[in-house]
Structure 1
Amino acid sequence: MGSTGGDRSPDIVSGAIPIVDFSRWHTNTSKADQFSVARDLTDACRTVGFVYITNHGLPQPLLDQAFNAAKRLFSLTHEEKMQAPHPDGPEVHRGYSFPGLEKVSQYAGGDDEVGEQLRQVSDCKESYEIGSEENSQQPNVWLPEATLPGFRAFTTEFYWECNKVALEILRALAMGIGLEDPEYLLRYHSGHNNQLRLLHYPPIPAAELESRSVARMPAHSDWSTMTMLFQDDCGGLEVADPRTPGKFIPATPVKGACVVNVGDLLMRWSNDYLISTLHRVTLPPLSDRFEGEHRMTRARYSIPYFVTADADSLVECLPACTDAQHPIKYDPVTQEAYARTRAKLQYRTSKAVAAAA
């Protein structure tokens, strides 16, 4: 199954996340180089579910500009940021979310009581969500131009630059899985259903995270096809170790690298050949990441780009990922239906908030 060579897997030492140099994929290289990259990328995605990609194609000055845009955004006053509020409820995921508004979890049921129990530990982060201007189902919510000049134009440009890289990664994964058509996954990914997220974790006392009275981002899998993540040097991202249940390993920041992880849809497409791994954001691993006598955490900034199939895409097992030893595990599902299931408790409606008060 697949074309990665049976049980061959990348060198994983003590649960380390593999690093793949993507420069060998670029069009001026040989097919053999491209196959080598595709094989290494796919091996990482089927054994860990996470991989660092270096030389991915986004220049460092552009990434620096993106982080500067995020810092400008989150340095605004609460009143200014609330000029672009996240819409009520879980249906539209755009605009600004203040700390505590969103609750990330792995729970996909519809029990409101379970949701309220999860919300007793609030997520201490704020975010801003951006999508394609052509996605009528997920309309953008923009700040006024006067509040943050140039923000809309830059983030729109950055959104599509990220998509260019995403398409090349999808091509490489298609080759690594063993699909005859390297463009197969691209048919379902126009780019218009992706999501650019700017994230800020404000400083809080380390003791509050250690006591679990608050969280940064609890353990969860992503419900996209895949995620491309750019992070600052603060640290705190952890990935479930597939070899040791219950253990998490740090995804230590690598300068200039993009952290790519498999999402639930790609795991379903590949019949669990590629794995969507639980991950979380918690305390950074080193004591020098804290500041002052109250051990305040440093502010952390990250920029995930969720690569998502178009809403009407039917996600069903790829023929290359099933045989007599690997029967189909999942029923076909559309992206829209799956996302609706996972998003139920992410954002409450104002009516639900009032009822819980």
Structure 2
Amino acid sequence: MASTKSPNIPVVDFAGWNTEPNRQQIAQDIVAACKNVGFVYIVNHSLPESMLDEAFSWSRLFFELPQDEKLKAPHPEGWAVHRGYSWPGLEKVSQAMSTGNDKDKVDQLRDVTDIKESYDIGSDENTAQPNQWLPEYSLPGFRDFMLRFYWECFRVGGEVLQALAVGLELDENHLLEKHSGHNNQLRLLHYPPIPAEAIETERAARCPAHTDWSSITLLFQDDCGGLEVEDVSSPGTFISAAPIKNVIVMNVGDLLQRWSNDLLRSTSHRVTLPPLPDRFKGTDCMTRRRFSIPYFMSPDSDSVIECIPCVGEGAAKYEPITQAEYNKMRASMQY
């Protein structure tokens, strides 16, 4: 697949969201970005920069632990519970695996290992998705901070959902009211250094092209780069979503696309080699290590998602479905 160098992702300034003169413009800008591209840079949001810096510091500390320490909080077997530590090779992300039923194709895709490790966190009150915490002595303070960060991300994500609703000419809480925050997912991601040649020859991958399943994703990146977004005007071509300090990269998930009757766009994206000239580290052409933190906003599991009558074009394209039913349909092929 081809790549281009120039980003084409809109920027929305969220300053003044809580002041009436700015709300309509912010809402209209964010809906336009989600209709036309599906991705948007959000600047001047209300998540404190100091808290974001601390989240990356904790993430680095976690992934620098010995493997046997990280495995004290393992991802449970199977796809039903999506919490805890996933070691390199456990998870395979691919749009083909999420939507297809061809076992031979799935096995072929699994032959190309995703070289990344992750740690997933949710609400401690979600008994259907129990958190897998490290013992406190392994990383003192980690659990306390991550729970505070989880709920701060929910607060900021709630403002984004309100802006989308206002931009769609709905009551500002129309989308947010199905999100209590207990069904969201905070993910710490680490892409360790590997030979760049392994990715170039497709013997390994970082994170192949896929869409997210949720309502929206808030993504925080380090300065490494490597995230690419499909150019909707040229399918199969990807553009760089270059990292910008303290900026949220927000994207629409498949469930919100379905909810909006395809008015809002869930766009394919991937993580590949960092852009030149920062692609390699050292004379042995190893990729730079990369850290990112996505936060997936999902409706409560028993909430019914059906096409909003006043948005989208024509009749409803999708039958009503609960979030739990939708998640099961999408998750069972990933692990």
Shift, 1:313, TM fit: 1.2
Residue of structure 2 equivalent to 1:257: 247
In the comparison of the two structures, how many residue pairs are matched?
329
Gapped runs of 5+ residues in structure 2?
A: none
Conservation of the 8 A alpha-carbon contact between 1:92 and 1:138: yes
Query: Take 2:318 and 2:6, find their aligned partners in 1: how far apart are those partners?
Result: 31
Conservation of the 8 A alpha-carbon contact between 1:50 and 1:260: yes
Shift, 1:14, TM fit: 6.3
Matched AA of 1:203: P
Residue of structure 1 equivalent to 2:299: 309
Query: Take 2:301 and 2:260, find their aligned partners in 1: how far apart are those partners?
Result: 19
| Alignment RMSD | 1.3
SS in 1 for 2:197: helix
Matched AA of 1:64: D
Match among 32, 53, 59 for residue 43 of structure 1: 32
Query: Take 1:252 and 1:123, find their aligned partners in 2: how far apart are those partners?
Result: 21
Residue of structure 2 equivalent to 1:271: 261
Deviations 1:150-204 (A, max 9, x none): 000000000000000011110000011111x111112110000000000000001
Shift, 1:286, TM fit: 1.3
Conservation of the 8 A alpha-carbon contact between 1:109 and 1:341: no
Match among 179, 185, 188 for residue 175 of structure 2: 185
SS in 1 for 2:133: coil
SS in 2 for 1:321: coil
- More deviation, 301-310/106-115: 106-115
Q: Which runs of structure 1 show a deviation greater than 4 angstroms over 4 or more consecutive aligned residues?
A: none
SS in 2 for 1:162: helix
Shift, 1:294, TM fit: 1.9
Residue of structure 1 equivalent to 2:72: 83
Match among 112, 129, 134 for residue 143 of structure 1: 134
Conservation of the 8 A alpha-carbon contact between 1:110 and 1:344: no
Amino-acid identity (%):
59
Match among 328, 339, 343 for residue 331 of structure 2: 343
Matched AA of 2:206: R
TM-score by length of 1: 0.90
Query: Take 1:50 and 1:330, find their aligned partners in 2: how far apart are those partners?
Result: 23
Shift, 1:110, TM fit: 3.7
Shift, 1:292, TM fit: 1.6
Match among 15, 19, 29 for residue 23 of structure 1: 15
Q: After the TM superposition, which residues 115-154 of structure 1 pair with which residues of structure 2 at under 5 Å, given as runs?
A: 115-154=106-145
Deviations 1:48-97 (A, max 9, x none): 00000011111111001000000000000111100001000000000000
- More deviation, 232-241/104-113: 104-113
Conservation of the 8 A alpha-carbon contact between 1:206 and 1:295: yes
Residue of structure 1 equivalent to 2:201: 211
Deviations 1:213-239 (A, max 9, x none): 000000000000000000000000000
Query: Take 1:159 and 1:337, find their aligned partners in 2: how far apart are those partners?
Result: 24
Query: Take 1:116 and 1:93, find their aligned partners in 2: how far apart are those partners?
Result: 21
Query: Take 1:305 and 1:221, find their aligned partners in 2: how far apart are those partners?
Result: 14
Query: Take 1:154 and 1:17, find their aligned partners in 2: how far apart are those partners?
Result: 31
Shift, 1:15, TM fit: 5.8
TM-score by length of 2: 0.96
Shift, 1:346, TM fit: 1.2
Matched AA of 1:234: C
Shift, 1:327, TM fit: 2.2
Residue of structure 1 equivalent to 2:43: 54
Shift, 1:45, TM fit: 0.5
Conservation of the 8 A alpha-carbon contact between 2:7 and 2:241: no
Residue of structure 1 equivalent to 2:237: 247
Deviations 1:263-317 (A, max 9, x none): 0111011111100000000001113331122211111000000000110111110
Query: Take 2:6 and 2:117, find their aligned partners in 1: how far apart are those partners?
Result: 33
- More deviation, 35-44/16-25: 16-25
Conservation of the 8 A alpha-carbon contact between 2:47 and 2:152: yes
Residue of structure 2 equivalent to 1:171: 162
Query: Take 1:171 and 1:291, find their aligned partners in 2: how far apart are those partners?
Result: 42
Q: Does 1:158 align with 2:149?
A: yes
Matched AA of 2:121: I
Shift, 1:341, TM fit: 1.2
SS in 2 for 1:113: helix
Conservation of the 8 A alpha-carbon contact between 1:170 and 1:185: yes
Deviations 1:296-352 (A, max 9, x none): 111100000000011011111001214xx52211111111111111111211xxxxx
Match among 309, 317, 320 for residue 319 of structure 1: 309
Query: Take 1:111 and 1:144, find their aligned partners in 2: how far apart are those partners?
Result: 40
